[in-house]
Each structure stands twice: as structure tokens, then as C-alpha cells.
Amino acid sequence: MRLLLILTAIAVQLCVTWGATKPRVVCYWANWGSMTPEQIDPTLCTHIHYAFHVMDDKHNTIVDSKGSPQPDLYNRLLALKQKNPELQVVVSVGGWGQPDIKFSRVVNSPELRKGFIANTIAYIQKYKFDGLDIDWEYPVCWTGNCTAGPKSDRENYGVFVKEIRAAFEKLTPRLTISAAVVAGAGIADKAYDYKAIGEYVI
Ligand SMILES: *[C@@H]1O[C@H](CO)[C@@H](O)[C@H](O)[C@H]1NC(C)=O
């Protein structure tokens, strides 16, 4: 009897978890590639991430890696919602080869974080994206080198995502926050405050 109850409890838990989290299929679209927005089958993806934007030199907002905003491309990606109304089109900042020092300066400064978050929200709203994806590779372990960045990146990257989440929650419609992270524990253990990432990202 007790076993049955436990099994039932597990089954209910699984149902709740399953019901709450629909599978995500995240498709990155590269602004340097040859595929056009119209060549994407939007019924295959739940999210399209526009890759990439970078941090500007003043560390207070994001800029398209092409050097200036590309509203025509954003609108063509957003138009895919006509074929998949639940599709989310998200702007992705970072990517391999982006200067880690810029992310590090922003996350380690309360003032820069505040300005960056406010300006990035304005940018996302202006171009009608659904959220922000952060591809910093990686806190502390810059381009994979774990002695290159300050140890404070780890804790303050957690603070950064916490503050972004709090700011996004206040908006209507709410914006989504996601992050591309390294899988290997050798880097991940040094780079991430797992509790913060787990609690505030997505
Ligand atoms: C890692 O970064 C440190 C600090 O910048 C540097 O001294 C070291 O040479 C780097 N290691 C590699 C393998 O690049």
C-alpha cells in the first residue's frame, strides 16, 4: 500500500512537471549565414534565436553583430509567427569569440548592469523581440581558459540573470530570459552559480 502511494505520488509529480514544461525546440538563426528567414520551417521550432548581438563598446546595450540594427531581418523572422502563432523570436547576445571582458565588466558593476538591462529592454521592445538569450562563453573561464577571468564572474553572473528576470517579470508582455551554457562540469562548476541559473533562467 505504501509503495502504491509513493508510486502514485511520483506519477502525479511527473504529470505536473510534464504539463508545466512543454518541450522547447530552440533554433538559432545566424545573421552571417546564407539561410534566409523564409527558408525556416517555423512549425519545427518553438523558439528562434537571432544570433548574434554583441555588447556595445560603452557596455550599456546590445548591438547587432552586423554593426547596426537590421529591422528588415527581424521583421521577416517575426513574420514566421503567422505560420506558428506560439513561436517566440528571441535576440541572442554573445557567441564564441565575443570579448569576455565586456560581459565581465557589466556583470561585476551594479551601475553597468542597471543601465545595460534598461537599455536592452528598450531595444528588445523597439524591435518586438520576445526575450533575451545570453551566450557568454564563459564566466570566469574566458574562451575556455579558467584562469583568464575573475572568480567574481561566477557570483555576479548569477546576480545579473536574477536582475534581468526581475525586470522582465515587471513587463507586459513579460520577456523571456534564456542562456546557452557549457555542458562540461570542468568549466561549468567554475562558471555558474547553479542555484541562480536554475531559479531565474527560463
Ligand atoms: C589563460 O589566461 C591566463 C591569464 O590571462 C594566461 O596567463 C594563460 O596563458 C592563459 N592560458 C592559455 C592556455 O591560454
Q: How far is the CA of 165 from the centre of ligand 1 (A)?
A: 33
> What average pLDDT score do residues 121-130 get?
98
Q: Which residues are catalytic?
A: 137
Give the residue from 70, 59, 85, 2 showing the smallest Cα distance to 37.
70
For 173-201, b where at least 16 C-beta lie within 10 A, e where not — what string?
eebbbbbbbbeeeebbebbbbeebbeebb
Nearest atom of ligand 1 to the alpha carbon of 145: 1
Return the CATH number at 187: 3.20.20.80
The answer to whether residue 6 scores a pLDDT higher than 70 is no
- The answer to whether residue 107 sits within a structural domain is yes
> How remote is the C-alpha of 37 from its chain's centroid?
20
Say what the pLDDT of residue 3 is.
45
Domain assignment of residue 16, yes or no: yes
User: How far is residue 199's CA from residue 27's CA, in Å, rounded to a whole number?
Assistant: 23
- Distances 1 to 15, 56, 87, 110 between C-alpha atoms, Å: 21, 62, 45, 55
Ligand 1: lining residues by beta carbon, under 6 Å: 145, 147-148
pLDDT(59) > 90: no
* 163 within domain boundaries: yes
Provide the β-strand partners of residue 51: 30
Please check whether residue 4 lies inside any domain of the structure.
no
- Indicate which residue's Cα is closest to atom 6 of ligand 1: 148
User: Cα(146) to centroid of ligand 1, in Å?
Assistant: 8
Q: What 8-state DSSP symbol labels residue 67?
A: S
Mean pLDDT in residue range 57-81: 96
Q: How far apart are CA 132 and CA 174, in angstroms?
A: 11
Give residue 17's pLDDT: 45
Which of the pair, 10 or 86, is modelled with greater confidence?
Answer: 86
Domain-located, residue 5: no
Distance between Cα 109 and ligand 1 center (Å) = 24
Pair 97, 54: CB distance under 8 Å: no
| Confidence at residue 202, expressed as pLDDT on a 0 to 100 scale | 75
Quote the domain boundaries for residue 60. Answer: 10-200
pLDDT value of residue 33: 95
Cα separations in angstroms, 176 against 82, 95, 130, 183, 188:
20, 18, 6, 22, 22
- Is position 180 within any domain? yes
Number of domains in the chain: 1
State the pLDDT at residue 20: 56
For a mutational test of ligand 1's pocket, the pick from 147, 153, 187, 190, i.e. the residue with the most ligand atoms closer than 8 A to its C-beta, is 147
